[in-house]
Structure 1
Amino acid sequence: MRTYRIKAIWKTLQGEGFFAGRPAVFVRFVGCNLWSGYERDRERDARRTGANCPRWCDTDFRKAGSRAYTAEALIAALQDIGGAIRFCVLTGGEPLLQLDALLVSALKQAGYFVAIETNGTMSLRQACTDPVTGKLIAPDWIVCSPKLPEEQLRLEFFDELKLIVPDYRPEQYARFARRARLHRLGGRPLPLLWLQPEDGPRLEMAKRCAVELALAHPAWRVSVQAHKILGVE
């Protein structure tokens, strides 16, 4: 029986992007294709992948302390932890290493609005195409935060694009940004393009950089991590 290795499930507020402030139940998948998650491997994996994120990522997506769930068991856990909340965010690590059409379909059938946060290196169609029908069973909402150059990204489309500055900048992702699904507000296109300051020792410099880049690229907006301001996980 198909199972998914999950590090944590928790109820909180979505802290970033279009749905900032919305109650959500998060699911953190084990594993990432850019960093092992271990301190000793930070520089090795940065050199191996060409990504800067292993040097500053503070997320624990390691297998230790995780649990394997079937789709049915995971939904039961979401209902137990999240209660009436029907907005779930699948994150990692890299969720598309494990996510498939079976789980997305089961979550939707259980009434969940399914969002994912991905680094863009994985193909959505390869991960989430139903092997029986050949139909793509995509999440309802896709947030991409790329960590590699745009020519190495395989994600076919997304709803929000989030760049962590100062390492990642709009001019580096001009072509990739065109893969965004179009959303409108008042009949006008609403680009969901975000510049998020890197948290950590470079935060003050990163905040100044984000503001300067937004002023130079008006289609982009500065992302504020509301969950950290509010003191929630």
Structure 2
Amino acid sequence: MSYAVKEIFLTLQGEGVHAGRRAVFLRFAGCNLWTGREEDRATAICQFCDTDFVGMNGENGGRYSAADLAAKVDSLWGERQSDRYVVMTGGEPMLQVDDAILDALHNHGFTVAIESNGTMAVHPKVDWVCISPKAGSDIVHKHGDELKLVWPQNASDINEIEGWDFANFLIQPMDSGSHIENQANVIAATEFVMARPKWRLSLQNHKILGLP
């Protein structure tokens, strides 16, 4: 098995419960809700994605074996042995994640987190599960450590979502690329949380700080 990787880089987690935490981001290429091509966006299930996950031409991108991929993550983290944390993301990482890569990362001492759209069952060896459901998709993974709902979108019944088994429920303002629309989305997300105190507001701090 070889893994198609868009990019791998060391940064700070910008979103969610672990915002501000040092992390290696391992971005797999490919997604099952959008091709990543702009000409296909209007007909995609997920039309608001703001991430480039196409191809393998990003920083440290390419095809890797499990051993080589874990070694690359290890080298980017550096010599510090404690609090090793890697975030597997995409695209949709569960299109590729399997026993081999999870075992290899664990053997290097990493806590492994995943950011998934929830349309595929997350591997049970993943240590921290963040699901970000997209309206119109069939969500099969309804439990985990955090649920991150980008807002606003034509989401499923919020009452149903609140019944899913997550430790943390987060609302994140959608990044539309327009300053005016983004401000409106922040207001909408804030109003959502004020009306539903089970949820917390999550911002994309890496964009605010200018981090990758």
Same fold (TM over 0.5): yes
Name the structure 1 match of 2:35: 36
1:59 corresponds to 2:58: no
**Contact conserved, 2:74 with 2:108, CA < 8 A, in 1?**
no
**Contact conserved, 1:29 with 1:61, CA < 8 A, in 2?**
yes
> Structure 2: which amino acid aligns with 1:60?
D
Deviation for aligned residue 1:156 = 4.5
Distance across 2 between alignment mates of 1:224 and 1:57: 15
Distance across 1 between alignment mates of 2:56 and 2:114: 23
Deviation for aligned residue 1:173 = 3.8
TM-score by length of 1: 0.81
Q: For this pair of structures, how many residues does the alignment match?
A: 203
Deviation for aligned residue 1:12 = 0.2
**Contact conserved, 2:7 with 2:56, CA < 8 A, in 1?**
no
Name the structure 1 match of 2:135: 148
Name the structure 1 match of 2:194: 215
**Between the two proteins, what is the percent identity of the paired residues?**
42
Distance across 1 between alignment mates of 2:195 and 2:40: 36
Deviation for aligned residue 1:118 = 0.3
**Contact conserved, 1:197 with 1:210, CA < 8 A, in 2?**
yes
Deviation readout 1:154-212 (Å, 9 max, x if unpaired):
1152110111111155x72433443335xxxxxxxxx4111100112221110010111
Name the structure 1 match of 2:171: 195
Q: Flag the 1:19–1:69 CA change in 2: closer, same or farther, 3 A.
A: same
Distance across 2 between alignment mates of 1:168 and 1:118: 19
Which of 80, 89, 93 matches 2:75? 80
- Unmatched runs of 5 consecutive residues or more in structure 2: none
Distance across 1 between alignment mates of 2:203 and 2:146: 14
- Unmatched runs of 5 consecutive residues or more in structure 1: 46-50, 129-136, 182-190
Q: Flag the 1:3–1:41 CA change in 2: closer, same or farther, 3 A.
A: same
Deviation readout 1:108-152 (Å, 9 max, x if unpaired):
12100000000011122xxx3xxxxxxxx42100101100357x2
Deviation for aligned residue 1:10 = 0.2
Higher helix proportion (structure 1 or 2): 1
CA RMSD for the aligned pairs? Answer: 1.8
- State the secondary structure of the residue aligned to 1:79: helix
